[in-house]
Every structure is written in C-alpha cells, then in structure tokens.
Amino acid sequence: MSKLNSTLIQTSGLTKYYGSSLGVLDLNLTVKQGEIFGFLGPNGAGKTTTIRIFLDFIRASRGNARLFGLDSHTHSTKIRSRIGYIPGEYGMYEEMRGYEYLKFLGLLRGYKKPPLSDRLIETFGLDISKRIKSYSHGTKQKLAVVQAFMHDPELLILDEPTIGLDPLMQQRFYELLLEMKNRGKTIFLSSHILPEVEKVCERVAILKEGRLVATHEIADIKKFRLKSMEITFKQDVNESVFKIDGVRKVKKEGNTIQLWIDANINSILRVISERPVENMSFQDASLEDIFMEYYSE
C-alpha cells in the first residue's frame, strides 16, 4: 500500500475528444492517499469521462492518468483489483437475488465472503433475499454501495453515489466515507450535490465544460468564502441601492433582499440602517454559491 499522503491519482494533460466534441481538456489533477477528494461539475462537464479513463473503459486522446503510480491503460487490470467503484448508471443482473449477486462479485475478486459484506448489508438494511428486478431504485443503489465497499478496497471511485438514497441512508453513507478515510482509504467522489461534497470532502476540483477551473481546500473555502446576508424590509426596497463595493450579487424577492458579500460590511449596514427592517440573518455562503460563481456569466 502507498504511504499516507503519497499521490494516489495523478493526471497529466488528460484530454478526451468524442469526434469533434470535447470530453475533457488538459486535465491536471493530483489526489493524495487518505483524502476524500470532491470532483464537481454539472452534467456534461466531463466528470464521468475522467472516471472512465481512470478505469480504462475508454482511452484518452492524449495525456495520461496514473493510479497507484501505474498507467491507467497499461496496468488497468491490476488497478481495478484495488478499487471499489460505483458508476453513475449502474447495470445489474436483474434475475439474480441480492445475495447471489454479491457472492458472484465476491468470487470474481477471490473472496468466498468479502470482509465487510455482512456489516454493510446490516448498516444499509438491505434485503438480499429478493430478486434485483424487484428492487426500488433506492434499494439498487444500496446494493451498489455494498458491492463497492465490501472487499475493503484501497481506493473508492464514486460517481454520484447517493442518488436514490433516502436521507437516513445518505447519512449512513457519509459516516461510512469518513470511517474509510480514517482507516487510510482514499475516496474520489464525483458529484453535483454540493452539500454532500462540503460535508465530507477535504479538497474539491471544479470542472466546467471539460476544463479544470479551480481546486480548493474546503477549509480555505470556509475561511475566505462569501458571506450571505438576507434582509426583510417592512416596505419595498429597490435592490439597486446595494450596488456598492463589497456586494458581489443581489437577489430580490418581494420585500426580501439577499446579498452575497466579500468585503467590509460597514457600507452595507449603513444602507440597511436607513430603512425599516423586519428581519435579518447573516451567515457564510454555501459551497453552492461559490460553485455558481464559476458558472455565472
């Protein structure tokens, strides 16, 4: 196993075209062992393309990806033996019962009984006696989680892993991620659900139209990010009065004004104090607000 904090995933100039359509362009990423790394972007940004290159499902047009120090194409079988994977669109053998499916996948990896299977089945309340074709979407997603984690892999590559899980199962999933991290495992989490990325990740990369536009430490985002202020006035207020230094964005709905602020608030408070206020709240802007900054015109 790699030493803690050594590089587990590294891409260099990774580029993929589908004919004339761009998948990803000149992607340079580094993911360290033992971290939960968030990979953010809307549908079509290039997240799944990147993951499929990691797993050698498709080949790069140029550049390369290395996992565990191994080339993703040349050593693809060896790499996949050390990974747990949840694809964004999961296909299963629908006629199998849950236990048959897990046993089949376990045997493919050389296990009569994968080390974490029983515990994960219990954690997620998974009924493995039924045929998969009778499962709801949420139950299939729980089965996908169990098969990815049950062999205790070194690296987990997860593409939109919580879609279909109810809030309780999502919370159990986040707890599982943090437990795996504490045991030195590495998690590459591709998602467009920003609150979950903020909840568990240490670093995030933001992808836009196939290009890497930013990489942030979550701790730095929380320290330096925008502030969000919401003020409800007793009468209508024209939002133009807040077009002042320090205000990045203004949103108006009825008598409520929402501001995103990145500087000293004294001038803003001065404007507010000149008008009758009914209610006011002030907090850090969410990761979603920062994300939308990269996608706004």
Q: For 196-209, how does the pLDDT look when each residue is reduced to its tens digit (9 = 90+)?
A: 888 899 999 989 89
Output the pLDDT for position 2.
43
Output the pLDDT for position 261.
83
Q: Is residue 135 pLDDT above 80, yes or no?
A: yes
Question: 193: how many CB neighbours lie within 10 A of its CB?
Answer: 16
Distance of alpha carbon 211 from the chain centroid: 17
Q: Looking at residues 227-248, what average pLDDT do you find?
A: 88
Residues 181, 164: Cα–Cα separation, whole Å = 23
Output the pLDDT for position 116.
95
Residue found by looking up tokens 């994968």 in the block: 114
What are the strands, taking DSSP E only, across 68-153? 70-71, 83-86
Output the pLDDT for position 263.
65
Output the pLDDT for position 293.
64
Q: Is residue 1 pLDDT above 60, yes or no?
A: no
Residue-wise pLDDT for 78-132, tens only, equals 999 999 999 988 889 999 999 999 999 999 999 999 999 999 999 999 999 999 9
pLDDT confidence band for 292 (50 / 70 / 90): low
Residue closest to 229 by CA, chosen among 217, 244, 219 = 244
Residue closest to 25 by CA, chosen among 67, 53, 66 = 53
The sign of the CA dihedral 51, 54, 57, 62 is positive
Residues 88, 90: Cα–Cα separation, whole Å = 6
Tokens for 295? 């996608």
Mean pLDDT of the chain: 90
Residue-wise pLDDT for 8-56, tens only, equals 999 999 999 999 999 999 999 999 999 999 998 888 889 999 999 999 9
pLDDT confidence band for 284 (50 / 70 / 90): low
Output the pLDDT for position 174.
95
Which structural domains are found in the chain, ordered by start?
7-222 (3.40.50.300), 225-295 (3.30.70.100)
Residue-wise pLDDT for 87-97, tens only, equals 988 889 999 99
Output the pLDDT for position 181.
96
Q: What's the DSSP call for residue 285?
A: P
Q: What percent of the chain stands above pLDDT 90?
A: 68
Tokens for 274? 């000149």
Q: Which stretch of 109-113, 226-230, 256-260, 285-289 has the lowest confidence by average pLDDT? A: 285-289
- Residue 233 neighbours by CB under 8 Å, 6+ apart: 255, 256, 257, 275, 276, 277, 278
pLDDT confidence band for 222 (50 / 70 / 90): low
Output the pLDDT for position 248.
80
Residue-wise pLDDT for 148-180, tens only, equals 999 999 999 999 999 999 999 999 999 999 999
